Structure 1
């Protein structure tokens, strides 16, 4: 049976209620018929114009905050890639037939992002429902005083809700700054290493919540060996940063006395049982031996490291995968595997923020990583790390932390 051919442009124009499309720069790209009719603007007066050039705040009202609030909501939708529903807004509109005359209006706005296949916001769906007449009608016929009281009550409550939300956002932003500073203090800077080069990157999530659970570590071992680990704590903010610091330090210590990565992860799992918030942490650790040209690795529920061979092929080290930390009631040995490498190969360890996307299979993200490694295989580790982040992370920022370690073998 043939699928029906739908004219989505015609559907958009006919949508009931006011709906407009804006670019991430808040410029009108389109508006449906109801938006044009109820706003009193023509298509020519909207398209290609910045929203607040068309609808500025009422200059006669020094307390007007409609422009500020709507702008903040739209920019949140662009930054987070998530829908933002606003509280009731008073946003006066200039009468297009009587310049200088402003009409008191009340609106219930919702801003929803439209994402492309890479997760980047390309449009904002701006839907507004005018509730001015509803507020006034609630007072009943001839009962203007009751209507004005109800109108003021609704507007006051909506403003209070908006202010509470803004205070919460500011508190989250402060916590985010403290957590990021704490995390930066605890993560090691890569020092020059004798026979190889390393590049590390950490990119915090764009939101105030999903930050500070990722970590990396590089530990020089006896002989010509190096241990490299990457982990991800479930949680966010200061709590996740503190747990991350404890686990990173514990694994770093265990690595120095363990006879391999599996034993190091087993010790870390035992320690994690006594750290609140450490459950379900994922981590992968690799022991690189330049004498034998082998990588020994063990993985606790973490995405597999990627080994880029000199010929451009990529192998994912996924033969020693086990559940995350503290996922079992009893401690059992962790699996361990080995992979050979040739001089000039590259090893990349990363957290899931690099490859996982909503509504997308993880294999798609791994394929993107492999393709990026292959295309940029001639680059030095620093340039390669930057290229990988540019290829895989959305231009508007990721919604999850990302840690990345690149080692030229």
Structure 2
């Protein structure tokens, strides 16, 4: 079809509903065949003429306001650049055959802007649905039932269009939030001379972009800091909060003495960031000189240490409440565990393990089984395998951040 070309002028003329194209001056630029048929006008009587010269309000009826309402709608579209769906309008139309005689019509218009490269409205699409026959079928002008049914029809159509616009807005928000997360999360790469893999898996659905993050920081000596965190909430605001907290913790990790102090600094900073309360985070410091991992957790699921023999140890001996959960500042706990060459450290957010109506211990056991099953696998393929094994086949309802470091 694309190779043969599409005759859009012919498509416009064949549209089943009444459609007219108006200039910003509200002059008819074109109309389709259905518009001509339903309005009882010829092309010559419409194209090139001002809309309200062709269809003015009935001068003999002081209550007639269809033209006035339509003019207000078109001006809103020209001013805002956004579509406007009008309520059902009674619009008296002068008879072509019998000048001075007016026919009662019921129209439901939608006015849509077409924008030029500079963002200004260059054409107005004026679509009209003819409801007159429905009104007449229910008893004509005096029939309240007919008018109410037509109003309900119009309101249903308005709600449908509103839902479509909301879906478009949510999709745009998700796009921006994902782009923001992608810009603020560090790109995968080597940390010193050590092998690491990172993954960020967005949730399914337009409203579920979250505030998960990860970070890997080179520290003095043969050490690195590895962090994951999770901001409560969804959408663009959560992504913005995530960016602020990730940057703050990354900076603190470079100047303080250990993960616990870094999380203390982050907790104090979080008090000044709206939406940061109850954020969870865990920070680990891997030291290859001493073969130890020092860690501290602010309400976050425990990192998993996969030993080379296939056993899994969860680092849960230094867990404290999430950021902002305590009214007063209290020093956070810190713990240290030893590792051997060939072990693997796995940090993650709750999207990897938590499921509705399921105890978290079940998710942790599922993670441990998967790690044992894939022991000996390098970080990159191991990351892919864990996402494949642990995330729901139909898509997760929460984001997942995952960091794997071969020790």
> Which band: TM-score by shorter chain?
0.5 to 0.7
Match of 1:225 in 2: 223
Q: CA offsets, 1:378-406, max 9 Å, x none? A: 22101000000001111221111110001
Match of 1:208 in 2: 206
Match of 2:358 in 1: 360
Q: CA offsets, 1:28-54, max 9 Å, x none? A: xxxxxxxxxxxxxxxxxxxxxxxxxxx
TM-score by length of 2: 0.64
Partners of 1:369 and 1:337 in 2: how far apart?
Answer: 22
Partners of 1:271 and 1:208 in 2: how far apart?
Answer: 30
Match of 2:313 in 1: 315
TM-score by length of 1: 0.64
Match of 2:48 in 1: none
Among candidates 139, 145, 160, match of residue 162 of structure 1:
160
Structure 1 residues 384 and 144, CA, compared in 2 at 3 Å: closer, same or farther?
farther
Larger Rg: 2
* Structure 1: gaps spanning 5 or more residues: 1-59, 64-135
Q: CA offsets, 1:24-80, max 9 Å, x none? A: xxxxxxxxxxxxxxxxxxxxxxxxxxxxxxxxxxxx9957xxxxxxxxxxxxxxxxx
Match of 1:175 in 2: 173
Among candidates 249, 252, 255, match of residue 254 of structure 1:
252
Match of 1:50 in 2: none
Residue 191 of structure 1 and its aligned partner are, at CA, apart by 2.5
Q: CA offsets, 1:125-145, max 9 Å, x none? A: xxxxxxxxxxx9xx999x996
Partners of 1:350 and 1:148 in 2: how far apart?
Answer: 60
Match of 2:343 in 1: 345
Match of 2:110 in 1: none
Match of 1:273 in 2: 271
**Secondary structure in 2 matching 1:233:** strand
- Kept in 2, the 8 Å contact 1:190–1:218? The answer is no
Match of 2:237 in 1: 239
The answer to whether the aligner puts 1:393 opposite 2:362 as a matched pair is no
**Secondary structure in 2 matching 1:235:** strand
* Structure 2: gaps spanning 5 or more residues: 1-13, 18-133
Among candidates 265, 284, 287, match of residue 285 of structure 2:
287
Partners of 1:238 and 1:402 in 2: how far apart?
Answer: 16
**Secondary structure in 2 matching 1:404:** strand
Among candidates 304, 307, 315, match of residue 306 of structure 1:
304
The count of residues paired between Structure 1 and Structure 2 equals 276
Partners of 1:288 and 1:140 in 2: how far apart?
Answer: 78
